[in-house]
Structure 1
Amino acid sequence: MPDSLHSRAGYARLARELGGYFHPWQRELGGPDPELTFDVMLTSLLTPQTRVLEAGCGHGLDAARFGPDSAGWAAYDFVPEMLERARKNAPHAQFFEWNGKTGVPEGMQGPFDLIVSRRGPTSAILRLNELAAPDARFLYVGPRLEVPQVPERLAAVNWAILSEWRVSVQAFAPTWEDWQTRGAFMGEAAHRADWDRCATAKGLPYREERYIVLAGRSG
């Protein structure tokens, strides 16, 4: 998988080839999906009065799944091909093309009670004070046990971590090609010698990791 995957063109290719923001390698989990903690927390925070903003919505699966339980679900992504699918998956939600760095799009009506990001851009943290209601919460899940920019950026905008979880689940990449693709996607080297030495009948074992954070304004 080329380095350009983590770009507008790369994500557009995922939308075309896989139908949305999916990891482009096959895997087998040896335990519960590590993002279930995020799902449980998100569900617990939603009420019929909760106004939600989703950063990096991809093809809109969270908007489709959780949006009906909220007072309103707005979401943004910077990839038009993803947004096209999101609007079909969640016609009740509002979607905006935005990179989270320029001026807030017209029509994105805040303030929001809950801002969420599932493996999406941490740049959303730097806009929290502009977008969030006074008692709002920010919920994030990232692809590693440590995502240093999350606590750093929260501190920079005077938000505090209320809870955090680090989840690690045994997983297997079933083929050498899957292991290579995962390495390219994650920015990690994939060595054939490691595969030849450690692969089992299920494939190469590794840990599927997630870092989940719930934050609110300090003070």
Structure 2
Amino acid sequence: MKLTPHSREWYARLARELGGYRHPWTRVLDGPDPELTFDALLAERLGPGVRVLEAGCGHGPDAARFGAQTARWVAYDRQPELLALARDNAPHAEFCLWDGRGAVPDALRGPFDLIVSRRGPTGVIGHLPAVAAPGGRFLYVGPTLEVPQVPERLVAVGWTIHGEWRVSVRAWTPRWEDWVTRCEWMGEEARQEDWETRATARGLPYQEERYVVLAGAE
């Protein structure tokens, strides 16, 4: 049965078959991974006194990689199958099942010095006043060069964008099957004529894009 991309059932299959929230297609980049910008901004804001809330943590790769560098790393996700993997991958972190709707659970109220979302839900922005410590920061990375709801929602809660980065790197999908999977993931149409007219011995070129935002309450 074909599952709707990004549905609960679809994420459950990713957890079961891929062991987490992972891109299920092969790609080759011509330059540095565009998410390295997010990594660098995150790493320089961590420290033994920093309390972090992560929205949409998936199987917990960031909690596993960065959590030990903080005073507290708390994360949530709406998908129980991914949270089960996250608890195994990052036993030092705290995890909560939540879909970002309604009142913030007590376990997620913090306050937190840094709220992060790596390609995760933007709905957390509406909860920033409830979870952020004075002087708190919000760091986000999205899968396209423009994610309009991010600046719109930040304005709505009175937060200011301190920096925006738009990073684009040429990438290649070596097989037609990879291109189909990538387009499905991104909500785009995979057209056979594009493959037939544009693909080379390396595969089909496209741009791997990221939109990174750093914001604060002042």
For this structure pair, what is the TM-score category when the shorter chain's length is used for normalisation? over 0.9
Query: 1:143 Cα deviation (Å)?
Result: 0.1
Structure 1: 5+ residue stretches without partners: none
**SS where residue 76 of structure 1 aligns?**
strand
Contact 2:104 2:127 in 1 (8 A): no
Structure 2: 5+ residue stretches without partners: none
Matched with 1:69 is: 69
Change (3 A) 1:142 1:3: farther
Matched with 1:107 is: 107
Matches within 5 A, 1:115-130: 115-130=115-130
Kindly report structure 1 stretches of 4+ aligned residues shifted beyond 4 Å: none
Query: 1:103 Cα deviation (Å)?
Result: 2.2
Matched with 2:28 is: 28
Contact 1:126 1:157 in 2 (8 A): yes
**Number of residue pairs matched?**
218
Query: 1:202 Cα deviation (Å)?
Result: 1.0
- Relative to the length of structure 2, the TM-score reads 0.97
Is residue 9 from structure 1 mapped to residue 9 from structure 2 by the alignment?
yes
Matched with 1:211 is: 211
Distance 1:146 1:168 in 2: 12
Contact 1:166 1:210 in 2 (8 A): yes
Q: Deviations for 1:38-62, whole angstroms, at most 9, x for unmatched residues?
A: 0000000111110000000000010
Higher mean Cα deviation, 6-15 or 102-111?
Answer: 102-111
Q: Match of 2:159, as an amino acid?
A: W
Matched with 1:160 is: 160
Percent identity between matched residues is: 65
Q: Deviations for 1:78-100, whole angstroms, at most 9, x for unmatched residues?
A: 00000000000000000000011
Contact 1:57 1:120 in 2 (8 A): yes
Change (3 A) 1:12 1:3: closer
Q: Deviations for 1:177-208, whole angstroms, at most 9, x for unmatched residues?
A: 11111111101111100100010111100000
Matched with 2:37 is: 37
Distance 1:39 1:201 in 2: 32
Q: Deviations for 1:124-145, whole angstroms, at most 9, x for unmatched residues?
A: 1010001101100000000000
**SS where residue 4 of structure 2 aligns?**
helix
Contact 2:165 2:213 in 1 (8 A): yes
Matched with 1:175 is: 175
Matched with 1:188 is: 188
Query: 1:102 Cα deviation (Å)?
Result: 2.2
- Relative to the length of structure 1, the TM-score reads 0.97
Query: 1:106 Cα deviation (Å)?
Result: 3.5
Superposed CA RMSD in Å reads 1.2
Q: Match of 2:101, as an amino acid?
A: K
Distance 1:123 1:71 in 2: 25
**SS where residue 145 of structure 1 aligns?**
coil
Higher mean Cα deviation, 179-188 or 49-58?
Answer: 179-188
Q: Match of 1:188, as an amino acid?
A: E
Contact 1:2 1:184 in 2 (8 A): no
Distance 1:8 1:49 in 2: 35
Query: 1:175 Cα deviation (Å)?
Result: 0.6
Higher mean Cα deviation, 104-113 or 176-185?
Answer: 104-113
